[in-house]
Amino acid sequence: MLSRFALPARSSGARLLGAQRRLASTKSLRETLEDIIPAKQEQLKKLKTEHGQTVVGDIKIENIVGGMRGLKAMLWDASVLDPIEGIRFHELSIPDCQKVLPAAPDGKEILPESMLWLLLTGQVPTPEQTCQLSRELAEKGDLPKFVEKLIDELPQSLHPMTQLGIGVAALNHDSAFQSAYEGGIKKTEYWTHTLEDCINLIARLPALAARIYRNVYKPGNDLPAINKDLDLVGNYSNMLGYGNNKNLTEYLRLYIALHGDHEGGNASAHTAHLVGSTLSDPYLSYSAALFALAGPLHGLANQEVLRWQLAMQKELGDKISHDDIRDYLWKTLKSGQVVPGYGHGVLRNPDPRFIALQEFCQAHPDLKESSIVQLVNKTFEVAPDVLKEHGKTKNPYPNVDATSGCVLYHYGLTEFKYYTVIFGVSRALGALTQLVWARALGLPIERPKSFSIDALQKMVQDQKN
């Protein structure tokens, strides 16, 4: 995959190829997709025609009654989650992405815009294309006045995730897809209007999320205007009031880029796909996804990790040994609770996102010396062995939530309930890009077959007879 981005040799033919590549490097995101979509449509058509009857898995009763866990039944082209290797975005691992995806001019971490481009096209954008996309998002980032008024009138006590879902749903007032569909468009044009909605929504999420943060936690503070020369996260950090903290801005870039997609089976991505399959526009589809993300078993996990770590720190004091942590882990497990931040529905190794965030911490002296970050590291050194001995966890290793919230807390963003909003800004990258492809590929409405308990028992009995 990476060989696609190697420099050409200095022959005349290669110079021509280089000129073509330079020309390609100036194409917009929509122009790039217009080139890619026909080939992908033909690939899917051939797969359906020639291999439609190929069996890729067996359905068992445990799949049906166990939340369809592990069931191979969904098309999601941007990322694949391997239990051992972790996530790959169009075949690129997280370390690959960190090497080839453009960063901000003043930073080193992946720009979410470059991840957005990769997820949509399967191609690594040039710095020029990334900058162009950043500019487009900034120019489209202002909220409609009626949405500002709506958010400002919500009660301060309403959970930030509820407010985010309400705001995203209200933005459907300006949906290009809904307007075009009502006016009558060809199915082949669905993806273009879906793309327009998705780009507009991603552009507006920072202003919406920052307004919610201001209203709930910093009422009365002025919100800075969007700076057309800043990238998506540069503006988001600035509107949150942390624009002068370069390290936090860089962390948010990395966090949002890496959280952008984690294949399609997770609850929020699957919800967006399901609702979108009814031809609901991207605003309605993603608002539904956000309410899935708000659940304690999904997006709220990072705040629960931090709450648990701080409770341990409060109980054990400043000088915490590995034995102290081991005892606290057993105390948690014996009380019937899980250890937050450990285990994953698919992964069977430490989450590569966790490793990437830990490497970020090790590269910044202030984080390396942080007591809460040090506690995360020590817990990682002890927890897997305890969980293996306990024997009830399929994956005794940390997931990304084990460290993500602790860095935010260190930099002063200490409002736990807001953390999932940041996750919601991030997850839009994957969920929305796949709505574009679902429409481009003409995927049908999702409609699995359900069974009653009696029907399942009859099927089992029939097989025995």
Chain-centroid distance, C-alpha 387: 27
**CB neighbours (10 Å) of residue 315?**
11
Distance CA 339, CA 397 (A): 11
What is the rounded distance in angstroms from the CA atom of residue 340 to the CA atom of residue 56?
Answer: 33
Residue 55: left (phi > 0), alpha (psi -120 to 50), or beta? beta
Contacts of 300 (CB under 8 A, 6+ apart): 294, 420
Kind and range of the H or E run holding 309: helix 301-316
- Catalytic annotation present for 344: yes
Q: Tell me how many degrees the CA angle 26-442-294 measures, rounded to the nearest 5.
A: 85
CA distance 414 to 99: 31
SS3 448: coil
Considering the candidates 298, 324, 327, 364, report the single residue annotated as catalytic: 298
Concatenated DSSP letters for 84-111?
TTEEEETTEEHHHHHHHS-B-TT-SSBP
Residue recorded with tokens 């409770």: 311
298 is catalytic: yes
Do the Cβ atoms of 255 and 263 come closer than 8 Å? no
Categorise residue 442: left if φ over 0, alpha if ψ from -120 to 50, beta otherwise: left
Helix then strand then coil, % of the chain, to nearest 5? 65, 5, 35
Tracing tokens 């500002």 back to the chain, one arrives at 148
Residues identified as active-site: 298, 344, 401
